[in-house]
Amino acid sequence: MNQTIYLRADATRFSELCDACLSAEEGSLAARHRAAKIEGSLRADVDVGFRSCRRGHRILVRRVRLPDVPPGYAA
């Protein structure tokens, strides 16, 4: 199972839950939820990073940069 956390262009900090930990069948739901918490940061000039949860599941962190929209452009 691969998990990716996407960050907005202006975000540097994140807090998410590890999907693999939450889907594990051992332990209570409360214990899995506590173990699944992932917090971290990604410098504004970096677009890709990695983070691991407490149980060692590796999570990809990607920054999403939208293209500039010309002034007066209406979607």
Range from 21-30, 39-48, 55-64 carrying the lowest mean pLDDT = 21-30
Contacts with 64 (C-beta within 8 Å, 6 or more apart), sequence order? 6, 7, 8, 9
Any domain includes 42: yes
Bin 27: left if φ > 0, else alpha if -120 < ψ < 50, else beta: left
* Per-residue pLDDT at 4 exceeds 70: yes
Domain range enclosing 33 = 3-64
Contacts with 39 (C-beta within 8 Å, 6 or more apart), sequence order? 13, 14, 15
* Per-residue pLDDT at 74 exceeds 70: no
Any domain includes 11: yes
* Per-residue pLDDT at 46 exceeds 90: yes
Any domain includes 58: yes
Which pTM does this prediction carry?
Answer: 0.76
* Count of domains for the chain: 1
The tokens of 54 are what? Answer: 């407490």
